[in-house]
Structure 1
Amino acid sequence: MTTSPDGAAVVVTGATSGIGWATASRLHADGARVLVTGRDEERGRRLVESLGARACFVAADLAAPGSADAVTDACLQAFGRLDALVNAAAVDHTGDLLSTPMADIRRVFEVNTFGAIAMIQAAARVMEHGGSIVNITSRLALVGVPTMGIYAASKGAVQALTLSAAVELAPRGIRVNDVAPGMTRTPLYDAWLARTPEPAATEREVLSRIPLGRLAVPDDVAAAVRYLVSDEARHVTGTVIRVDGGYTAQ
């Protein structure tokens, strides 16, 4: 990955579980200095303790005004610079499109869309030496799935923004890309599966639709993020890496 003598400084949002946790761990193992954020302080402290040196945690609710600036300021105070941002914070939503209350829709967009946009703005302003921004979107930004429309729209908006941001920020040396996971075995997936009437049958149905025949695990997604953050992807911007076992290739 891109490194200074002391290692690149990276912010990972939504790092207290699932894909964010795996990504923070992967980048830290590669030598990065990692500032992790999330709303769960106990899990954030656990993550930082497991990583050891070169890691710190800032509790943040990205739906709250000023949170993005507070996170980037904390990174500058801790590491003196900001080289990469990974937007992994998200809330899930499943529900009938016609009956979903607008209050629920706004809650999803506040975190998944507006929180990600605020982090992009705050991070890009302080990336004085260029950098990399990676947005975790979803296969649902690319295909239509009943009951997932609100979540898909929140992620699709970020994917659309990525294209413009990649072009607009290129003169500043900032690359902007997406990673779009398919079904991934995370706490969000486990909670969704547990709510279904027949979890075992539901999982068999899910697997039957994935050409590679298995769910992704968070480390699969983290590996794609690691590539986009690294110098190996120095000429890659405005693109999306689909980590979905071939689901959206059908």
Structure 2
Amino acid sequence: MPLPVAGEARVALVTGATSGIGVEIARRLVADGLRVVVSGRSAERGAAVAAELGGAASFVRADLTEEGAADALVAAVVAAHGRLDVLVNNAAVDHTGPLLEVPPSEVRATFETNALAAIACLQAAGRAMRDGGRGGAIINVTSRLASIGVPTMGVYSASKGALLALTTAAAVELAPWDIRVNAVAPGMTRTPLYETWASGQPDPAATERRVADAIPLRRIAEPADVAAAVAFLASPGAAYITGTSIPVDGGYLAQ
């Protein structure tokens, strides 16, 4: 396909974009004028998200734990659009469990998605951005748990901590090609996963008040709060920002 003309809309790839924060990130990037490829493991949910977002969005199914999946995904984006300007490394799995009892299989499964798949996506996207000659922006979605300790969340925290460390290292190494690498670290966010957890508590309303009271801004984040930070880091307005992590946590880490 011919190279895009100057001024053509930028192209973003959002992994894990079939639910929760990922959907909202894709929605915000479309609103900002980007063409967005959403990706996830569920073809049914992915097709529904792309249909909701309209003609500027499309869906490519990928299980990023499979060998070569990241390369194939990025290749599909470039084949369809001729370029890749933004990668949002959002795909992740949750994990809880007493640290001393977590079996090795669960550790490996958590790191396969949260760290190894994210590294593979960064590598594939970084090569496409380098070879395209336009640079780009990579945003890794980490977590406040990459910076604090919470009982039963040790394996998840370690996987997100690896992604945070990758952010700073990649920012320095990829800077010569004008590829910026940053992270966004959400705090407690009102996703379907949160709603399921809260509704399973003996008193969901009291649980929400307790969670919110531990946050200086006294509310739980909405997915749109996280999407706004991602959109900024993806925008030309952040052209001189790389190697940093923005906590979107209502001031939790500032305490």
Which bin holds the TM-score, normalised by the shorter protein? over 0.9
Match of 1:96 among 88, 95, 98: 98
Question: How far did residue 203 of structure 1 move?
Answer: 2.0
> In the alignment, which residue of structure 2 is the partner of 1:31?
33
Q: 2: distance between equivalents of 1:54 and 1:207? A: 36
The letter of the residue matching 1:227 is F
> In the alignment, which residue of structure 1 is the partner of 2:155?
150
Question: How far did residue 195 of structure 1 move?
Answer: 3.8
Q: 1: distance between equivalents of 2:42 and 2:81? A: 22
> In the alignment, which residue of structure 2 is the partner of 1:123?
125
The letter of the residue matching 1:122 is A
TM-align CA RMSD: 1.2
Question: How far did residue 146 of structure 1 move?
Answer: 0.8
> In the alignment, which residue of structure 2 is the partner of 1:189?
194
Question: How far did residue 78 of structure 1 move?
Answer: 1.2
> In the alignment, which residue of structure 2 is the partner of 1:179?
184
Q: 2: distance between equivalents of 1:217 and 1:185? A: 5
Question: How far did residue 199 of structure 1 move?
Answer: 2.9
Offset from partner CA, 1:144-187 (integer Å, 9 cap, x none): 11111111110000001111100000001100000000000001
Offset from partner CA, 1:69-94 (integer Å, 9 cap, x none): 11101111111000010011111111
Query: Where in structure 2 are there 5+ consecutive unaligned residues?
Result: none
> In the alignment, which residue of structure 2 is the partner of 1:53?
55
The letter of the residue matching 2:252 is Y
Q: TM-score, normalised by structure 1?
A: 0.96
Within the alignment, does 1:67 sit opposite 2:69 as a pair?
Answer: yes
Q: TM-score, normalised by structure 2?
A: 0.94
**Equivalent residues in 2 for 1:204-219, closer than 5 Å:** 204-219=209-224
Q: 1: distance between equivalents of 2:153 and 2:219? A: 21
> In the alignment, which residue of structure 2 is the partner of 1:221?
226
The letter of the residue matching 1:178 is A
- SS in structure 2 at match of 1:175: strand
- SS in structure 2 at match of 1:69: helix
Count, aligned residues? 248
Q: 2: distance between equivalents of 1:195 and 1:238? A: 38
> In the alignment, which residue of structure 1 is the partner of 2:81?
79
More displaced stretch, 48-57 vs 162-171: 48-57
Q: 2: distance between equivalents of 1:65 and 1:215? A: 37
More displaced stretch, 217-226 vs 52-61: 52-61
Q: What is the percentage of aligned positions where both structures have the same residue?
A: 59
Query: Where in structure 1 are there 5+ consecutive unaligned residues?
Result: none
Question: How far did residue 4 of structure 1 move?
Answer: 5.2
Match of 2:140 among 118, 135, 160: 135
CA pair 104-197 structure 1, distance change in 2 beyond 3 A = farther
- SS in structure 2 at match of 1:44: helix
CA pair 149-196 structure 1, distance change in 2 beyond 3 A = farther
The letter of the residue matching 1:75 is V
